[in-house]
């Protein structure tokens, strides 16, 4: 089984948060009180940690990285690695927010079986949550597309720093730098950046992240389905479910009779499958659920 991502870039239309939030949270508590929960999280989970998302109300239009773009030319890869050389540090410095810590508390209460995350930011792991399935990979790893060797992003950063001494200081004079959810940035002037190849075989290096248009591995998808099957309910937090990689788990839970709860700012692709939809901020709702 392989999951193909579908490219979707349109932010949700602005919507007001649910005014009757206390009533909605009471309904959430009632629905999930005796349930063993699996959480499916998206970029909206991490916005309170300073990492922007793609589609929440008010989010600026973004163009996510695709595998075709990355492989298209050495010049494009140079452009990408220059931007990532700055962006990954911002993601590495990010810290879990109240929503991440709330899921960890739910797990310690034996109410959460684990987390399937579409995020690559490792914030669930940083918060102490166990059994985290990283559906789209992780920013801290780098993979060679030729020989498959894995290395750490820090090790590559050290190599890139030696190849490009003072690069970060130079680009700081070229205007504001905006970081995207995949650790990319909006930096445009990268003509003086040198990239590094695989130290083992000289092949192309790529972040160990599933790009748009790329396939999540079968083993990872199977782990995610196993989490859903081992739970009584599915809690979606901070995902518009625009791409099939996340939507398929909601459809599976619905087909197998498990309650589905969605907490997200704006509409999602699975609102019609939800037993309860709360249009509000993840940190607020999840904290209230964990403190029940």
15 CB contacts (<8 Å, ≥6 apart)? 57, 265, 266, 267, 279
43 is known to lie in a ligand binding site:
yes
290 is known to lie in a ligand binding site:
no
114 is known to lie in a ligand binding site:
no
259 is known to lie in a ligand binding site:
no
Q: What's the order of all strands across the beta sheet hosting 137-144?
A: 150-152, 137-144, 205-209
64 CB contacts (<8 Å, ≥6 apart)? 7, 9, 54, 180, 181, 182, 211, 212
Instruction: For residue 155, count other CB atoms closer than 10 A to its CB.
Output: 12
87 is known to lie in a ligand binding site:
no
122 is known to lie in a ligand binding site:
no
255 is known to lie in a ligand binding site:
no
44 is known to lie in a ligand binding site:
yes
User: For this structure, is 136 an active site residue?
Assistant: yes
42 is known to lie in a ligand binding site:
yes
47 is known to lie in a ligand binding site:
yes
**205 bridge partner residues:** 144
111 is known to lie in a ligand binding site:
no
Identify whether the C-beta of residue 11 lies closer than 8 Å to the C-beta of residue 61: yes
> Which of 85, 100, 101, 136 is the catalytic position?
136
51 is known to lie in a ligand binding site:
yes
189 is known to lie in a ligand binding site:
no
Which residues define the annotated binding site for Zn(2+)?
144, 147, 198, 201
Which residues define the annotated binding site for NAD(+)?
42-62, 118-121, 238-240, 264-266, 282
Which residues define the annotated binding site?
42-62, 118-121, 144, 147, 198, 201, 238-240, 264-266, 282
Residues marked as catalytic: 136
């Amino acid at each position: 089984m392989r999951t193909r991502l579908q490219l979707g870039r349109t932010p949700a239309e602005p919507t007001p948060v649910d005014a009757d939030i206390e009533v909605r949270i009471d309904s959430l508590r009632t629905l999930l009180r005796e349930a063993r929960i699996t959480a499916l999280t998206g970029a909206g989970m991490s916005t309170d940690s300073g990492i922007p998302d793609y589609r929440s109300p008010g989010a600026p239009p973004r163009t996510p990285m695709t595998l075709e773009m990355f492989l298209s030319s050495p010049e494009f890869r140079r452009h990408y690695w220059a931007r990532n050389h700055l962006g990954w540090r911002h993601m590495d410095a990010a810290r879990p927010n109240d929503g991440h810590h709330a899921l960890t508390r739910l797990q310690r209460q034996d109410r959460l079986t684990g987390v399937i995350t579409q995020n690559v930011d490792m914030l669930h792991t940083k918060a102490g949550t166990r059994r985290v399935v990283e559906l789209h990979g992780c920013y801290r790893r780098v993979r060679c597309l030729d020989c498959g060797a894995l290395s750490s992003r820090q090790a590559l950063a050290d190599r890139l720093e030696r190849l490009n001494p003072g690069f970060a200081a130079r680009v700081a004079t070229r205007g504001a730098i905006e970081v995207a959810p995949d650790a990319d940035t909006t930096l445009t002037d990268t003509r003086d950046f040198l990239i590094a190849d695989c130290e083992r075989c000289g092949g192309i290096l790529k972040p160990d992240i599933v790009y748009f248009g790329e396939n999540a591995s079968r083993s990872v998808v199977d782990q995610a389905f196993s989490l859903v099957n081992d739970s009584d309910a599915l809690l979606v937090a901070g995902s518009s479910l625009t791409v099939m990689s996340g939507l398929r788990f909601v459809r599976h839970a619905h087909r197998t009779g498990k309650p589905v709860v969605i907490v997200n700012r704006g509409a999602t692709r699975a609102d019609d499958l939800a037993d309860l939809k709360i249009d509000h901020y993840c940190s607020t709702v999840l904290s209230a659920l964990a403190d029940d």
